[in-house]
Structure 1
Amino acid sequence: MYAVDYLSVWYVSAAAHLDLFGSLGLCLGFTAGIMPRRDRILLASAACAAAFGVHYLTLGAFTGTAMCAISILQSLVALTCLGRPGRSGWVAPLFAGSTLAAACLTAITWNGWPSACAALGTLFATGARLHAAPQPMRLLFLGASLCWAGHNLLVGSVFGLTCDLLTIFGLGIALLRAVPARPVAPEVLRA
């Protein structure tokens, strides 16, 4: 057997488990959780949602795909418009409309618990994107990641579940890193 034959056999057996977009989403999801600034969190989050949107489409998880599309829109709007004078007046109605669109898309693509988890995760993430400070944003993204972990477990997305676990871990590190250390009180020496 030649090397090309081995490569061909390996590819055929591994093709079902290899997913470029799932792998990319996994990397971007963890990266978003540990980013230091809000703008970088939102940019990495939008890229992650784009990659996972394609991944969910290949799995037939249409609610997850639809929620990723909403996530991309919200992340890019929050990145470019929130906090800038004169441009944020229409952001709240746009977020309200996108939340309504998410509810309608969830109803249209309803698939039981996976759809409920994806919708709830999107709701938490929507709240996160509206925050200007990174810490409350991370807390809400933690809630979103827990919901998406339920979705990914139910639809069988190994990449999504791995990403969620890494993102939860990364968000936990980032949240703990920002907590100020307590001063240590000097001990009283006993004679």
Structure 2
Amino acid sequence: MSVFESTIAVAGQVDVLGALGLCLGFASGAVRGRERILYVSAACATCFGLDYLRLGASTGAAMCALSVLQGLASARFGGAARRPAWFGPFFAASAMAVLALTVATWSGWPSAFAGIGALCAIRARFQADAEAMRWNFVGASLAWAGHNILVASPFALACDLVTLAGLFLALRRSERRRTAMA
């Protein structure tokens, strides 16, 4: 077998979406600025939504689709000064959609964890402040870790861990800035 054939064989075994989602997960926790966090998080959710479809984790895939829509809407319209009248009702409807999709795609504990993670993430995306958003994403990442253990998605679980690391790094950075300013 040639080096080229070996490389192709190895590449076929690598979960490209999972690997990309893993990188984006860390970046979403660590980047500066509310809008950047949300755009990178939406890209990450796109990767894992497709990965969950491949794994047959329908609740996770459905929650990721909602995450992408919410993330893009929140990045564009969610700043405290520019929220349109439909913004609050959109997020309320998203929460109802999470509950309906969780029931419609129910597969036991994985669905429960995905639903809880999605609800925590909705609360995060609704925040106008980056630090408050990060704390809510901590809860979402912990719930998604439960889902990813149960559906056996190693890249998604690794993403939860590196996302948490990125979130705590950014929260620590914020704490140092506040301490230095005091």
User: TM-score, structure 2 length as denominator?
Assistant: 0.91
Cα distance change on mapping 1:163 and 1:97 into 2, 3 Å: same
Structure-2 separation of matches of 1:57 and 1:126:
21
Cα distance change on mapping 1:3 and 1:112 into 2, 3 Å: same
Cα distance change on mapping 1:63 and 1:7 into 2, 3 Å: same
**Residue number in structure 2 paired with 1:165:** 161
**Residue number in structure 2 paired with 1:66:** 62
Match runs of 1:102-117 below 5 Å? 102-117=98-113
> Does 2:106 correspond to 1:135?
no
**Residue number in structure 2 paired with 1:188:** none
Contact 2:113 2:143 in 1 (8 A): yes
**Residue number in structure 2 paired with 1:57:** 53
Superposed CA RMSD: 1.9
Aligned residues: 179
After superposition, the C-alpha distances for 1:64-84 in whole angstroms (9 at most, x for unaligned) are 000000101111111111237
**Residue number in structure 1 paired with 2:179:** 181
153-162 or 18-27: which moved more? Answer: 18-27
5+ long unaligned stretches in structure 2: none
Structure-2 separation of matches of 1:80 and 1:159:
29
81-90 or 112-121: which moved more? Answer: 81-90
Structure-2 separation of matches of 1:50 and 1:38:
19
User: TM-score, structure 1 length as denominator?
Assistant: 0.87
**Residue number in structure 2 paired with 1:90:** 86
Structure-1 separation of matches of 2:97 and 2:107:
17
After superposition, the C-alpha distances for 1:17-42 in whole angstroms (9 at most, x for unaligned) are x1111111111111000011000000
Structure-2 separation of matches of 1:96 and 1:31:
28
- 1:176 Cα deviation after fit: 1.1
Cα distance change on mapping 1:109 and 1:83 into 2, 3 Å: same
After superposition, the C-alpha distances for 1:134-187 in whole angstroms (9 at most, x for unaligned) are 11100000110011111111100010000000011111111111113379xxxx
Cα distance change on mapping 1:181 and 1:70 into 2, 3 Å: same
**Residue number in structure 2 paired with 1:155:** 151
Larger helix share, 1 or 2: 2
**Residue number in structure 2 paired with 1:99:** 95
Structure-2 separation of matches of 1:35 and 1:4:
36
**Residue number in structure 1 paired with 2:119:** 123
Among the aligned pairs, what percent are the same residue?
Answer: 49
Structure-2 separation of matches of 1:31 and 1:116:
26
